[in-house]
Amino acid sequence: MTVTLITGATRGIGLETARQLVAAGHVVYVGARDAEQGRRVAEDIGARTVQLDVTDDASVAAALAAIEAEQGLLDVLVNNAGVLETGWDPAAATRSFEVNVIGVLRVTEAALPLLRRSDSASVVTVSSSAGSFWAATTPERPEYGLSVPLYSASKAAASMLTLQYAKANPGIRFNALEPGSTATDMTAAFGIGRPVAESAQVVVRLATQGPDGPTGTLQDEHGVLAW
């Protein structure tokens, strides 16, 4: 039995990842800011749910305490919750980093004691190639012309945070992931992206790799990406 927590799992890639991991036999906890919405989603896909707001210390602590009480450990954490701000102002920057970076830190720190009890622990952070300096400076890449500065900066930080966690915790696999351009509520204004089921498969592949899987990488569906 593999116990998995996914943040921001009531819609988009998070929801579809939860659905696919339930189908793969995981005990999946849907992390949801709105407890009632989380309950409905979990019932629909055969998962469990915890109220979890990645910007709130008490919410995160309570969610991990609930999982500990019910399962005793955590095998897989998917840091999926994220926001995409399109402005340059300090308020937008604060929201971007509070969710996309500090939220990853807050949840991961709370989850580490449970992850350390697993025989094969894995943390997958849904990041973005928009945060890759290589991709953003390569004219042939779509990231070169993508103008989402705060999103890109926060995802660069999330990928670096993932690398540092991997170095500090050799017994746990930590990887950042570019899931692919996906049509979600977050990207609706851009009118781009493929179905969420396809991108969720990329998350699931990395989340289900065994003890010999990679750690300290930024990947997409084709393998390791340059940073």
Catalytic residues: 151
Structure tokens at 86: 């399109």
Asked whether the beta carbons of 178 and 127 are under 8 A apart, the reply is yes
Q: For the chain, how many residues are written?
A: 227
Asked whether the beta carbons of 79 and 107 are under 8 A apart, the reply is yes
Which of the 8 DSSP states describes residue 138? Answer: -
Structure tokens at 94: 């604060």
Query: Measuring CA to CA, how many Å separate 120 from each of 34, 173, 205?
Result: 30, 8, 15
Of all helices (H) and strands (E), which one includes residue 183? Answer: none
| Helix, strand, or coil (residue 77) | strand
Distance CA 140, CA 119 (A): 42
* Sequence-ordered list of residues with C-beta below 8 angstroms from that of 40, at least 6 positions apart, any chain: none
